[in-house]
């Protein structure tokens, strides 16, 4: 049985003091469920102090990004090697990295390999734009991203991988995907992983949905067979909403 995974992406919000206060509030409000793993991805400024603050029985830390080289003349970058021992998870290929910062699948595949090499669990984000969907290209885009992003990894190396299906048009827009759209896309992601690595890899793979998840729609996604978790942006900045989403995951029947 795959453990459910609820990850909060705080994006570029909260200074270190505010981040510390929100973690405190979350620890007061989050119920611990044996079947749900909770991961918070704060700004890189806050990962080190929060690593000392958090109760690791309640939640784990993730980074939002990591560079693909371990060290060197790469001004402004933070490497997966530096994050090793501080975070347990790292987002890779988030749609804002792809579409605001122009990250290509080539860069994303190298980042994924660096994260794995440094023994951090990757959450790879994939998803189509509204134009891709309108053009009937959703499956082609998902297929291309999965194939290209995973190309440097073996079946053994993807054992800890989670893939988040995040349609770009649903992120931060309130225009969330319908459960049947999520079911079709997440089944297709699983199918691609099975084709690449075989049935065991697909069985072990955790697939998440992300895009305008709120307390009132979280359970409808978690009830989908094959959906193991959620990647939550905006609602993860509100401790009451995030705690409700974690409880919905626990109550869900999915996976
Ligand atoms: C995200 O940042 O990955 C995300 C899904 O954001 P939101 O929940 O705000 O749509």
Q: Specify whether the CB–CB gap between 46 and 14 falls below 8 A.
A: yes
HEC string of the chain?
CCCEEEEEECCCCCCHHHHHHHHHHHHHHCCCCCCEEEEEECCHHHHHHHHHHCCCCCCEEEECCCECCCCCCCCCCCEHHHHECCECEEEECCHHHHHCCCCCHHHHHHHHHHHHHCCCEEEEEECCCHHHHHCCCHHHHHHHHHHHHCCCCCCHHHCCCEEEECCHHHCCCCCCCCHHHHHHHHHHHHHHHHHHHCHHHHHHCEEEEECCCCHHHHHHHHCCCCCCEEEECHHHHCHHHHHHHHHHHHHCCCC
235 CA → ligand 1 middle, Å? 8
Positive or negative, the Cα torsion across 252, 122, 149, 176? positive
Distance CA 252, CA 244 (A): 12
Question: Is ligand 1 within 6 A of the CB of residue 231?
Answer: yes
Rounded distance from Cα 95 to ligand 1 centre (Å): 9
For 95-125, how does the pLDDT look when each residue is reduced to its tens digit (9 = 90+)? 999 999 999 999 999 999 999 999 999 999 9
Average pLDDT score over residue span 18-24: 98
pLDDT for the residue numbered 185: 98
- Convert the pLDDT of each residue in 184-223 to its tens digit: 999 999 999 999 999 999 999 999 999 999 999 999 999 9
Backbone angles phi, psi at 217, to 5 degrees: -120, -5
For the segment 150-189, what is each residue's pLDDT rounded down to a tens digit?
998 999 999 999 999 999 999 988 888 999 999 999 999 9
Model confidence pLDDT, tens digit, residues 45-59: 999 999 999 999 999
Residue 9 Cβ < 6 Å to ligand 1 = yes
CB of residue 210 inside a 6 A radius of ligand 1: yes
Average pLDDT over residues 83-98: 98
Percent of the chain with pLDDT over 90: 96
pLDDT of residue 254: 60
| Catalytic positions, written as ranges | 94, 166
C-alpha 37 – ligand 1 centre gap (Å): 18
């Amino acid at each position: 049985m795959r453990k459910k995974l609820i990850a909060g992406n705080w994006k570029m919000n909260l200074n270190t003091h505010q981040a510390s206060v929100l973690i405190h509030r979350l620890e007061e409000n989050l119920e611990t469920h044996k079947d749900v793993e909770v991961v918070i991805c704060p700004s890189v400024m806050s990962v080190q102090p929060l690593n000392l603050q958090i109760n690791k029985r309640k939640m784990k830390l993730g980074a939002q990004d990591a560079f693909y080289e371990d060290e060197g003349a790469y001004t402004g970058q933070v490497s997966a090697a530096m994050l090793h021992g501080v975070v347990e998870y790292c987002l890779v290929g988030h749609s804002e990295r792809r579409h605001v910062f122009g990250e290509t699948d080539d860069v994303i595949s190298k980042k994924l390999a660096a994260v794995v090499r440094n023994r951090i669990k990757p959450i790879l984000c994939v998803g189509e734009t509204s134009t891709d969907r309108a053009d009937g290209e959703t499956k082609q885009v998902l297929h291309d991203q999965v194939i290209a992003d995973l190309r440097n990894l073996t079946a053994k190396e993807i054992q800890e991988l989670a893939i988040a299906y995040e349609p770009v048009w649903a992120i931060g827009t309130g225009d969330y995907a319908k459960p049947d759209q999520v079911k079709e896309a997440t089944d297709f992601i699983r199918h691609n992983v099975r084709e690449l690595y075989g049935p065991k890899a697909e069985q072990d793979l955790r697939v998440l949905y992300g895009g305008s998840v709120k307390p009132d729609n979280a359970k409808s996604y978690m009830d989908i067979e094959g959906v193991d978790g959620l990647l939550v942006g905006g609602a993860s900045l509100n401790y009451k909403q995030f705690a409700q989403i974690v409880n919905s995951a626990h109550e869900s029947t999915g996976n």
